[in-house]
């Protein structure tokens, strides 16, 4: 498989919910199984022959640049788009537009997710009408559930099940370059861009069931990711 496209990693956030860890390191450098989140993201995308990256960095940007450099140590090419002030997810993307060449589709991912989904499925959905395709994954209950009969007799328990009737934004997208003319700077993809795309039928959901996916938003997420991704990282 050969895919010539750029991947943009949104890595500029403050990671406030992960303090005090993020007082000294940016969120993408938080260690999961002895390597930073952003390292595993790159390894995942390398598996799909994606080797050209743009890192949108802001908070503690020097730490990220010092860790990754130009990417040659990981056999990739890295360019950086720097936010001197917070621009939001939409603004961060708009800020790196000058680093894009003739790509018709661009892969974008949040700098705090770990997954093994196939990103190529997203790029297949981009056309003249669909300007963005979004990976969606089943909602995982934050709690264990209790199963019982109509007579209220408990029959068992299930720990934090996936609730497949509901789907959540997986933080991985494929964008048409045409979308960049509609990106506010500053602004938010989630609040300012995606609702408008949905209203105009320019946004498509691509479902991924029975895949590994984890957003690292809390200290508990770090603990769970260290258990959940053991087998996934063995191949890298």
pLDDT in tens, 105-122: 799 999 999 999 999 999
Q: Half-sphere exposure of 59 toward its Cβ, with a 13 Å CA cutoff?
A: 19
Q: Of the given ranges (20-34, 128-142, 150-164), which has the lowest mean pLDDT? A: 150-164
d(CA 66, CA 140): 35
Alpha-carbon span 143 to 43, nearest angstrom = 31
Strand locations in 98-183, DSSP E?
A: 105-110, 113-115, 132-140, 145-148, 154-158, 162-176
Q: Rounded to two decimals, what is the model's pTM?
A: 0.91
Per residue in 142-188, pLDDT (tens digit) is 888 899 898 888 999 988 888 878 999 999 999 998 999 889 989 99
Structural domains in the chain, CATH included, are 6-233 (3.90.550.10)
Distance of CA 7 to the CA centre of its chain: 11
């Amino acid at each position: 498989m050969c895919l010539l496209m750029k991947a943009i990693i949104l890595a500029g956030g403050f990671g406030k919910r992960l303090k005090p860890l993020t007082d000294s390191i940016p969120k993408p450098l938080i260690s999961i199984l002895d390597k930073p989140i952003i390292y595993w993201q790159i390894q995942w995308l390398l598996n799909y022959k994606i080797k050209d990256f743009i890192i949108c960095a802001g908070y503690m940007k020097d730490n990220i640049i010092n860790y990754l450099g130009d990417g040659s140590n990981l056999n990739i090419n890295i360019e950086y788009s720097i936010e001197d002030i917070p621009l939001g997810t939409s603004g961060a993307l708009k800020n790196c537009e000058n680093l894009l060449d003739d790509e018709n589709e661009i892969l974008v991912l949040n700098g705090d997710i770990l997954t093994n989904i196939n990103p190529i499925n997203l790029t297949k959905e981009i056309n003249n009408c669909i300007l963005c395709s979004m990976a969606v994954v089943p909602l995982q209950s934050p709690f264990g559930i209790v199963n019982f009969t109509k007579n209220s007799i408990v029959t068992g328990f299930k720990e934090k099940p996936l609730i497949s009737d509901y789907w959540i934004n997986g933080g991985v997208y494929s964008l048409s370059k045409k979308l960049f003319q509609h990106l506010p700077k500053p602004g938010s993809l989630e609040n300012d861009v995606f609702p408008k795309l949905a209203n105009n039928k320019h946004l498509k959901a691509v479902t991924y069931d029975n895949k590994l996916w984890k957003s690292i938003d809390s200290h508990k997420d770090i603990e769970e990711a260290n258990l959940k991704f053991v087998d996934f990282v063995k191949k890298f």
